[in-house]
């Protein structure tokens, strides 16, 4: 089955979550994707999953460096607020 405009990894997971076994997923050169389903698969369910699919990419997780920078920024903001409260808020 050729499926257009999807996030192949995300849709494959959505199939698995619904108990649909997609034997393989293949990204084609024209950006379409091909899935092969076991014989007897409920294709109505497959179509409902495809129709509900949101192809927005999954958020990427922060690198260790980004996590440290974020934590440092939070600590600096907290320290700044503490200093302001100690000197009367200027």
CB 14 within 8 A of CB 25: no
Nearest 10 degrees: CA dihedral of 42, 46, 52, 53?
160
pTM exceeds 0.95 for this model:
no
Q: Where are the beta strands (DSSP E) in the chain?
A: 2-3, 22-27, 33-37
Q: Residue 90: its pLDDT value, please? A: 56
Q: Residue 57: its pLDDT value, please? A: 80
Q: Max Cα separation, the chain?
A: 73
Task: List the chain residues with pLDDT less than 70.
Answer: 24, 89-90
């Amino acid at each position: 089955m050729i499926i257009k405009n999807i996030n192949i990894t995300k849709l494959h997971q959505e199939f698995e979550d619904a108990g649909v076994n997609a034997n393989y997923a293949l990204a084609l050169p024209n950006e379409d994707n091909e899935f092969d389903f076991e014989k007897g698969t409920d294709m109505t369910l497959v179509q409902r999953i495809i129709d509900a699919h949101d192809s927005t990419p999954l958020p990427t997780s922060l690198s260790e460096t980004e996590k440290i920078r974020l934590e440092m920024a939070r600590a600096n903001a907290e320290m700044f607020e503490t200093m302001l409260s100690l000197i009367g808020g200027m």
